[in-house]
Every structure is written in C-alpha cells, then in structure tokens.
Amino acid sequence: MTGSHVELSAQDGIYTLVLRRPEALNALSTAVCRDVAAALARVDQDPAARALILTGEGRAFCAGADLREREGATPEAIWAHNRAIFQIPLDLERLPVPTIAAINGLALGGGCEIALGCDLRWAAATAELGCPEVTRGILPGGGGTQRLPRLVGLSRAMMLILTGRRIGAQEAYRIGLVDAVVPPEELLPAVREVAGAIAANAPLAVRFAKQAMRYGVGHTLEEGLALEGELQRMLYATEDCREGIAAFRERRAPRWAGR
C-alpha cells in the first residue's frame, strides 16, 4: 500500500509504515493523518499481522502538526486537525499487534506524541525529541500531557512540556522516553530484529499480553488481574498452547497456528 504520504509494506507478518513527506519533515497535515489512519486500519484487519514498525523518510521521524495548514483557519478547523492527530496514538494503542517507533530523526510535538502511542520506541543516536507546543501558544493536545507523565514520571514530563525544549536520544533513553539508542545506520535493522523476535512468538499470546498491559495501566490492579486471568484461561484452550507444551517436551521450535 502506497499513498501520497505514506508507504505500508509487509514481510513475514511484520508491517513497516513509513511517513513520506520529507520535504516538510513528515509534518502531520490532515491528509497525512488520513493516510496513516487508513494504513493502520489495514494492519488491524490482517489476521496474519504480527508487528508494526513506524518510521519516517528523510531526516525526521515526524516534526508534528503542519502549522501551515492552520494559518488563517478557524478555531473549529484547527480543532478538527488536532483531533485527526489525536486519533493516531489511540489507533496505535488499540492495534492488536505490538508497535515499534523507529525514531530516525526529529520527533517533535505530534511526532513525539505518535511515538508515545507506540508500545516500544527505538531511537537513532542523532534523534531529537520534544513537546514544544507551549512555545506556540498551545499544549501537547495529541495525548502528550497524559502519556508522557505515565511513561517518564510527572516531574520529568513537566520539565519537557513546560519548557518546550528538545532533548537528544541519550537523554531520552536516560529518562525512559525511548527503550534503546543505536547508530542511525543500525536503527531499522535493530528494530526489525526486535519485531522478528516478537513475530516468532505465539501470535494470540502476544496480542493478549499487549491487551492486558494496555488495559492494566488505565485500571486498578484488581481489574487488570481479572482481565489477565480471563485472557490466560482463553489461551489455555488454544491450539497454540498445546503446541507450545508439545514443542517444549519434544525440544523443537513451535509451529504456531494462531488459534
């Protein structure tokens, strides 16, 4: 699938979604948001999907909202643009398969918020991340004020959001904003290796594990444990569970059926 602003490809169940608007640092226009939404819907509908890698073309992962689109626009039109950006991290969180942001360069504003919506974040050593919205008279309205404190803690999130400053990949790693930092030329191979390790596991188990963790962070421990138990009980009845036990007993690699 190749749209005017994105490219979606798949190999062995691993999807790669590339934002392709390098001349604008992959800024999020309404049209880009629409193309991303369509690509994520396609992954969601594929039962063979195992993981999704999200990255950008050129020197940016995503520079955030396309502010040129907002020049002269009404508050209602700007709000509609904001809602289109806001939906992308939600769709990433709700996607049944794990998602990995391969942050190849600038990830600012809405671009940082999209990365926050992914399950894992790997960054090139040259990447920069930040939420500079307050320097433009707004706040991080793509979920940044809620996801960033949950990931790095309230005080660190306050520092980043209230100053609006950028941080480098190593500092982002130090505070827990990204999971790993690698040389730029190694970013996609490293992320594909992680995606491959995920894809090699039992697909239903991976999907259920993501569902349980995503649910748990927004609910009480008791509610999270209840869902975990329900999902585990469902997995015990699957063909893959029986195959996992048999493969362990027979000392061979499992052959997952996804059911």
* pLDDT range class, residue 1, cuts 50, 70, 90: low
Whether 217 and 119 share a structural domain: no
- The H or E element spanning position 53 is strand 51-56
Mean pLDDT, the chain, as a whole number? 96
In which domain, by residue range, is 60 found? 6-199
Query: How do 128-130 and 106-108 pair as beta strands?
Result: parallel
Describe the strand order of the beta sheet including 60-62 as a list of residue ranges: 60-62, 106-108, 128-130, 166-168
Does 218 lie in the same domain as 166? Answer: no
- Write the DSSP symbol of residue 106: E
Calculate the CA dihedral of residues 243, 248, 249, 254 and round it to 10 degrees: 40
In angstroms, rounded to a whole number, what is the distance separating the alpha carbons of residues 1 and 202?
Answer: 26
CATH number at residue 87: 3.90.226.10
The answer to whether residue 190 sits within a structural domain is yes
pLDDT tens column, 232-253: 999 999 999 999 999 999 999 9
pLDDT digits (tens, 9 = 90+) for 19-55: 999 999 999 999 999 999 999 999 999 999 999 999 9
My answer on whether 62 and 112 are in the same domain is yes
Instruction: Report, as an integer, the average pLDDT of 130-134.
Output: 96
* Distance, first Cα to last Cα, the chain: 27
71 included as an active-site residue? no
pLDDT average, residue stretch 102-125: 98
Out of 57, 93, 113, 128, which one is annotated catalytic? 113
Q: Quick one: 148 and 187 in the same domain? A: yes
Distance CA 184, CA 166 (A): 18
Instruction: Give the three-class secondary structure for 256.
Output: coil
**DSSP 3-state of 97:** coil
Query: Which one is catalytic: 133, 193, 222, 239?
Result: 133
164 & 44 share domain: yes
Q: How many domains does the chain have?
A: 2
Asked if residue 3 has pLDDT above 80, the reply is no
Residue 96, pLDDT > 70, answer yes
113 is catalytic: yes
For position 4, what pLDDT does the model report?
83
pTM for the model stands at 0.94
pLDDT at position 49 is 97
Q: How confident is the model at residue 113 (pLDDT cuts 50, 70, 90)?
A: very high
Weakest-pLDDT range from 62-76, 101-115, 116-130, 194-208:
62-76
Average pLDDT over residues 153-180: 97
pLDDT tens-digit readout, 171-223: 999 999 999 999 999 999 999 999 999 999 999 999 999 999 999 999 999 99
Q: What is the pLDDT of residue 2?
A: 61
pLDDT at 76 over 80: yes
